[in-house]
DNA sequence: TTGTGTTTTATTGCCTCC
DNA sequence: GGAGGCAATAAAACACAA
């Protein structure tokens, strides 16, 4: 009797604890939430309830999550603003932008920015189908807005909303830092810097059309500094590197014929990066998925690991000891095309942990994609649930761009589903001894589905090294890659 | 193994808008 | 006054170094 009472009390206690203790969202939930967040930063009650129902969460949780997510974005944005301020002072490259825009100082935490537009207004305008010039959009919501444009017009698209982030977010304005950094660094990275390229050189005409005069001034300033190195379009800036010594990045495995783009970057061959070889924890998988889904073409990631900037990797090594915040900033800097959010994703996821990628990277390198533990109970129910959800809807990804709340919510179904569907090709690619061949095969086998534009148009900018790089890929890069593949075949 | 730091989630109070 | 959002705070979960 006493035992049963104890048992009951134990159960009660456990249930109470369960109620009391916070529960981590499952990767699938997070993914869906991030995705939905990229669509609607201020969801309506109806949307919230639908999301809650779909994800098996309470509306309160959803509301809270969105609230915190917005705070997170804001915080990241603030951090980045601070970083930008420092960068401005040190480099002076973007000085006139800062001055021209009256950018917030680090101390300013409120969105008192004169460019600030009530996000709800933005949202409501979006929902009501009223477009407005992107120049009028706050930096926070630029990504939000451009996501719509992105699917149709690459001119000002950001490879992620965010994120993060960013990943991952996400909605910061890292390109101040990034452009100055990258362009000052050398122009070579411009082509692989979606934001930088978009904003600065890649498609400046389109950008200038969209962004407005204030940022135009910044661009002009950078142009001036770059002088003759700056090119409106075409090949990278006229910076040349010394040739690498023969065999400098020799890869014992790689077939230079099959993998021309990888040869130069042995790091990318490391199991850490292609950690899918190992058994991924659900969460890690989630990040990988994010990285892949966030990219314009997930296969690019495999076939163009060169997008993993060399100095990105170096930076990672040199800044291992950096704290979280600086890590985030560094990562942002080294992943210019990102909205940090989700990002970044990101944010980083992010996004979720959009900005602790260095930590995770370290972890991955040490533990081989261990990541946070996510129990199977946590992940599988949702995944299964999403698996159960049949998905004619999945194919209807075009609905995603519609302002209808339901459409976006429907996409939540596809999120998990797509995760599962997408995992196989990835694994095949990564497990194969000749990954590139298999990857190309997989790519050929999955041509119908436009993952980049429809399935995962706006994923949190996860500031993961992988996603950070992959997601930054301008669309043209995939074209280049295609061309390269073709040429290699030739 | 433990302590520390970071991130995420939940709660609460205040503010603004309708 | 109620609803929604923001900000601050606490606590749990997690990763990492010693």
| Residues of A 314-353 whose CB lies less than 7 Å from any atom of strand B | 323-325, 327-328, 349-353
Return the pLDDT at A20: 54
- Nearest nucleotide over every DNA/RNA strand to the A75 CA, judged by C1': C7
User: For the segment A183-235, what is each residue's pLDDT rounded down to a tens digit?
Assistant: 333 333 333 333 333 333 333 333 333 333 444 445 555 555 555 444 444 44
CA of A351 to C1' of B16 (A): 29
Return the pLDDT at A215: 43
Confidence check: pLDDT of A68 > 80 = yes
Q: Is the CB of A28 under 7 A from strand B?
A: no
Cα–Cα distance, A281 to A279 (Å, whole number): 7
Name the protein residue, with chain letter, whose CA is nearest the C1' of C14: A372
pTM greater than the 0.75 cutoff: no
User: For the segment A391-421, what is each residue's pLDDT rounded down to a tens digit?
Assistant: 333 333 333 333 333 444 445 444 444 343 3
Q: Residues with Cβ < 8 Å from A13, sequence gap 6 or more?
A: none
Confidence check: pLDDT of A30 > 60 = yes
- Nearest nucleotide over every DNA/RNA strand to the A23 CA, judged by C1': B9
CA of A113 to C1' of C10 (A): 30
Cα–Cα distance, A256 to A268 (Å, whole number): 14
CA of A369 to C1' of B9 (A): 24
CA of A103 to C1' of B11 (A): 33
**What average pLDDT does the segment A311-316 reach?**
36
CB of A456 closer than 8 Å to CB of A299: no
Q: What is the DSSP string of A280-308?
A: PPHHHHHHHHHHHHHSS-HHHHHH-GGGS
A7: preceding bond cis by omega (within 30 degrees): no
Confidence check: pLDDT of A67 > 50 = yes
| Residues of A 57-96 whose CB lies less than 7 Å from any atom of strand B | 60-61, 64-65, 67-68, 72
CA of A320 to C1' of B18 (A): 51
**What average pLDDT does the segment A165-181 reach?**
36
User: For the segment A334-382, what is each residue's pLDDT rounded down to a tens digit?
Assistant: 333 333 333 333 333 333 333 333 333 433 333 333 333 333 333 333 3
What percentage of chain A exceeds 70 in pLDDT?
12
Confidence check: pLDDT of A57 > 70 = yes
**What average pLDDT does the segment A280-308 reach?**
37
Return the pLDDT at A63: 84
Mean pLDDT of chain A: 43
**What average pLDDT does the segment A136-147 reach?**
36
Q: What is the DSSP string of A137-186?
A: S-HHHHHHHHHHHHHH-GGG--SSS--BEEEE---S-THHHHHHHHHHH-
Return the pLDDT at A152: 34
∠ CA(A196), CA(A202), CA(A204), 5° rounding?
A: 95
CA atoms within a 13 Å half-sphere pointing along the CA-CB vector of A268: 30
Rounded CA Rg of chain A:
22
Return the pLDDT at A269: 36
Name the protein residue, with chain letter, whose CA is nearest the C1' of C13: A24
- Nearest nucleotide over every DNA/RNA strand to the A118 CA, judged by C1': C5
Return the pLDDT at A27: 80
Confidence check: pLDDT of A72 > 70 = yes
CA of A357 to C1' of B7 (A): 12
Q: Residues with Cβ < 8 Å from A111, sequence gap 6 or more?
A: A74, A138, A140
CB of A327 closer than 8 Å to CB of A353: no
Q: Which of A412, A347, A32 is nearest to A161 (CA)?
A: A347
What is the dihedral angle through the alpha carbons of A330, A331, A335, A337, rounded to the nearest 10 degrees? -90
- Nearest nucleotide over every DNA/RNA strand to the A372 CA, judged by C1': C14
Return the pLDDT at A237: 45
* Burial of residue A17, with CB atoms counted within 10 A of its CB: 0-12 exposed, 13-18 middle, 19 or more buried: exposed
Cα–Cα distance, A299 to A179 (Å, whole number): 26
CA atoms within a 13 Å half-sphere pointing along the CA-CB vector of A335: 54
CA of A68 to C1' of C6 (A): 9
What percentage of chain A exceeds 90 in pLDDT?
0
Name the protein residue, with chain letter, whose CA is nearest the C1' of B6: A324
Q: Which residue has the higher pLDDT, A216 or A134?
A: A216
Confidence check: pLDDT of A321 > 80 = no
Name the protein residue, with chain letter, whose CA is nearest the C1' of B7: A353
Q: Which of A340, A61, A374 is nearest to A53 (CA)?
A: A61
């Amino acid at each position: 009797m006493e035992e049963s009472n104890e048992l009951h009390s134990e159960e009660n206690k456990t249930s109470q604890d369960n109620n009391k203790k916070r529960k981590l969202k499952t990767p699938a939930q997070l993914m869906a939430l991030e995705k939905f967040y990229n669509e609607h930063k201020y969801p309506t009650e109806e949307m919230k309830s639908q999301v809650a129902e779909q994800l098996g969460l309470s509306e309160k949780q959803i509301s809270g999550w969105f609230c915190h997510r917005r705070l997170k974005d804001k915080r990241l944005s603030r951090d980045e603003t601070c970083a930008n301020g420092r960068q401005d002072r040190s480099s002076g490259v973007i000085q006139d932008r800062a001055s021209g825009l009256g950018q917030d100082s680090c101390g300013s935490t409120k969105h008192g920015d004169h460019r600030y537009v009530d996000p709800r207004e933005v949202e409501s305008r979006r929902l009501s189908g009223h477009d407005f010039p992107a120049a009028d959009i706050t930096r926070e919501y630029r990504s939000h807005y451009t996501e719509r444009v992105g699917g149709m017009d690459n001119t000002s698209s950001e490879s992620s909303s965010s994120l993060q982030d960013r990943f991952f977010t996400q909605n910061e304005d890292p390109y101040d830092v990034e452009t100055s950094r990258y362009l000052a660094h050398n122009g070579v990275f411009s082509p692989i810097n979606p934001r930088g390229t978009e904003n600065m050189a890649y498609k400046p005409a389109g950008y200038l059309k969209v962004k407005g005069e204030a940022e135009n001034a910044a661009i002009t300033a950078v142009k001036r500094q770059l002088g003759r190195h700056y090119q409106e379009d075409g090949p990278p800036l006229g910076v040349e590197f010394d040739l690498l010594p023969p065999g400098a990045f020799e890869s014992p495995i790689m077939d230079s014929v099959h993998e021309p783009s990888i040869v130069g970057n042995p790091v990318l061959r490391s199991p850490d990066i292609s950690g899918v070889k190992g058994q991924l924890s659900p969460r890690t998988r989630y990040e990988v998925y994010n990285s892949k889904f966030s990219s314009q073409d997930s296969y690019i990631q495999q076939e163009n690991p060169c997008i993993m900037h060399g100095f990105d990797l170096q930076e990672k090594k040199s800044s291992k000891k950096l704290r979280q915040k600086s890590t985030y900033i560094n990562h942002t800097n080294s992943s210019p095309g990102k909205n940090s959010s989700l990002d970044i994703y990101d944010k980083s996821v992010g996004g979720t942990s959009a900005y602790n990628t260095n930590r995770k990277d370290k972890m991955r390198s040490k533990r081989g994609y261990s990541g946070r533990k996510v129990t199977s109970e946590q992940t599988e129910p949702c995944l299964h649930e999403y698996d159960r959800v049949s998905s004619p809807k999945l194919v209807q990804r075009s609905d995603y761009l519609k302002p209808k709340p339901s459409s976006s919510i429907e996409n939540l179904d596809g999120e998990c589903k797509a995760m599962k569907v997408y995992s196989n090709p990835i694994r095949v690619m990564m497990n194969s001894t000749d990954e590139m061949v298999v990857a190309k095969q997989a790519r050929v086998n999955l041509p119908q589905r436009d993952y980049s534009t429809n399935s995962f148009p706006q994923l949190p900018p996860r500031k993961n090294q992988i996603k950070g790089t992959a997601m930054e890929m301008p669309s043209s890069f995939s074209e280049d890659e295609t061309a390269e593949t073709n040429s290699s075949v030739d």
